[in-house]
Structure 1
Amino acid sequence: MNTPSMLRALPTEHRQRLMRLAREVSFSQGARIFNEGTRAERFWIIRTGCVELDTRVPGRRCALIETLGHNELVGLSWLFAPHVWHLGATAATPVRAYEFDGTAVRSMILDDPALGRAVTQWAGEVLAHRLRRTRTRLLDLYAPYGAGSAV
């Protein structure tokens, strides 16, 4: 199950307002987009390519949580205090994306309650999906006999 895209989740008017803040960016394959535990000030919507989300596991290499692609949201921590990344992200392929300034979007959604509800509903759905994926992936990796397979 993929996470809800901004195109499906937000009404046209809200999506258009957000897109006015978008800036086109690109990341080369292998580029680290952000690290877990660092300040979260931006988010991205993938246009092309794939981004891998990972998490640190003490005493082990980072665990791959999920691979994101076209129209998917990269980054949620910009929306919720203390604005620190809970996962890390790397460009698995060359990536083109729309980048958004988290402070500007937070200001916009505070000024427009309807937009704020739509964005937080969308982000909440993505967050719930990512939490389920993280739990399942970590159980698959580290529990005996792939205990996380049955969700």
Structure 2
Amino acid sequence: MHEFAVGDIVEIETMNGLIYAQITHDHPSYPPVVVVFDGAFDRRPDHTQSITGRPPRFTALISLASALSRLGKQVTLLANEQVSDPFPIFRTPVRDKLGEIIYWWLWDGRSLAVDTGTSGPNRDAPLREVMGAAEFWRRLEDQPDQDG
């Protein structure tokens, strides 16, 4: 299975139904950014806007085709749509000697910034780490909202 391109929307069959993800950005030092959209479907929606108009369920840095191939999972390339969103913000915790988080590094794909707060718009930003295949599948199989 070849890796997907930026803009590709893929359909992944899970025990909860069909779940959709889109490869949104490339970075030379990391795997692609993959956004998994909220909701699971009993059947494929008629329009991709029904998928891409949904909020993200989670975002990950992962080589999607390789990860799903390692798990023996089949995916369907549904469409390719241009992505206009900026590179997402990722966060990395910085811990003290006791393991407590003392601040966060925020990364926008180009530079780092420090965030000392525990609230605000970046509180729920995805972690800046390469997600493994098993963790990706576990998060897919967590109960999403059921749709058509």
**Higher RCO, Cα 8 Å, sep 6+:** 1
Q: Which has the higher helix share?
A: 1
TM-score by length of 1: 0.28
TM-score by length of 2: 0.28
Q: Which has the higher strand share?
A: 2
